[in-house]
Amino acid sequence: MNFQLQHTDPKSKARAGLIITDHGQVETPIFMPVGTAGSVKAVHITELKNDIKAQIILGNTYHLYLRPGLEILRQAGGLHKFTSWDKPILTDSGGFQVFSLAENRKLTEEGALFQSHIDGSRHFFTPENVMDIQRIIGADIIMAFDECTPGTADYTYAKKSLELTERWLDRCITRFRETECPYGYSQTLFPIVQGCVYPDLRRRAAENVAAKEAEGNAIGGLAVGEPTEKMYEMIELVNEILPKDKPRYLMGVGTPANILEAIERGVDMFDCIIPTHNGRNGQIFTKNGIMNMRNERWKNDFSPLDENGTSFVDSLYSKAYLRHLFNTKEILGLQIASVHNLAFYLQLMREAREHIIAGDFSRWKNDTIENVMRRL
């Protein structure tokens, strides 16, 4: 993987760059639709490519390991061929999913013992086999195995957790260097900065990660229960330390406002379930604000779903029709909302990039956040 830093906004830390992988190029800043189990829910590949204009998608190591399983993925030739997606893919490490299974997992020095949410079967993730699993999945960018500390963790727990994550990182790097992609293209490993909300721990973690000289770096353990302003504070602190010539990936964040604030602080890559998850629950993001499509006010509104939208669904369907679909529990409603929201997020990234290059990102960002987070 190669990263070219092309522009930096003169009045902020916002950056525009280009990530080059064996499966194509990614212009940053970028949002990655979440394809948890090999599918971006309710959206098919042609919509992702041609309408939403996604450049890279995310797969989930924990879920793909359980289903369809490594043997199927190996036989298919990796996740790209299995899903018919020929652009870049990033996989997370499974650390967040194991963290979310707090009642059904046990952490040791060796790794994480957990029970499947599907059938209760027991499995063991180690830094080494998580590297092997992601090699078989075949993502272009893979993540180091870490413990995702809750945002409310006390200092003693956060410090102990970070120390474990750092030891695991060394083992991940060793295993990654000992192996290669079974499908003949290159893969790259991103370490993850943890440290909860404690500045000294985040600083230590960022310095340790920077010293590994990886081709890119991730920031994890945020948007997991801590106050939003504390999240922004940690992003600023970490990005002062992480190398400027490598892409920075903020994991699992977030709302349009969260993303724009993080871009201003120097983040390049994002993923989150919000556009699809909230879309399936009737929430539509637009430049003018947020619509709840179950509300009575849209019952007789036959205007286009989004006059400023870039997706075909925005002009093809009306607000009244989408409200009808949600109220009658028609699957089409979930599809329309998901496609619209993802197209909105990707268009927001393109506009952010344009304003970074134009040199007026901060002014545009402030106006945009005020508009897009308004409740309609």
Which active-site residues does the annotation give?
A: 92, 271
- Nearest of 149, 151, 169 to residue 159 by alpha carbon: 149
- Nearest of 62, 137, 134 to residue 105 by alpha carbon: 62
Q: Residue 7: beta bridge partners?
A: 16
DSSP reduced 3-state for 267: coil
Instruction: Show the CA angle centred on residue 67, arms to residues 64 and 70, nearest 5°.
Output: 65
Q: Are 283 and 292 in contact (CB under 8 A)?
A: yes
Q: Which residue has the tokens 């998580």?
A: 130
Q: Which conformational region is residue 178 in: left (phi greater than 0), alpha (psi within -120 to 50 degrees), or beta?
A: alpha
Token digits of residue 202: 């985040």
Inter-CA distances, 44 with 232, 339, 340, Å? 34, 9, 13
Distance from the first to the final alpha carbon of the chain: 42
Token digits of residue 2: 């190669």
One-letter amino acid at 242 equals L
CA distance 339 to 341: 6
Inter-CA distances, 360 with 47, 62, 95, 126, 366, Å? 31, 40, 37, 45, 11
CA distance 283 to 278: 5
The CB-side HSE value for 320 (13 A sphere, CA atoms) comes to: 5
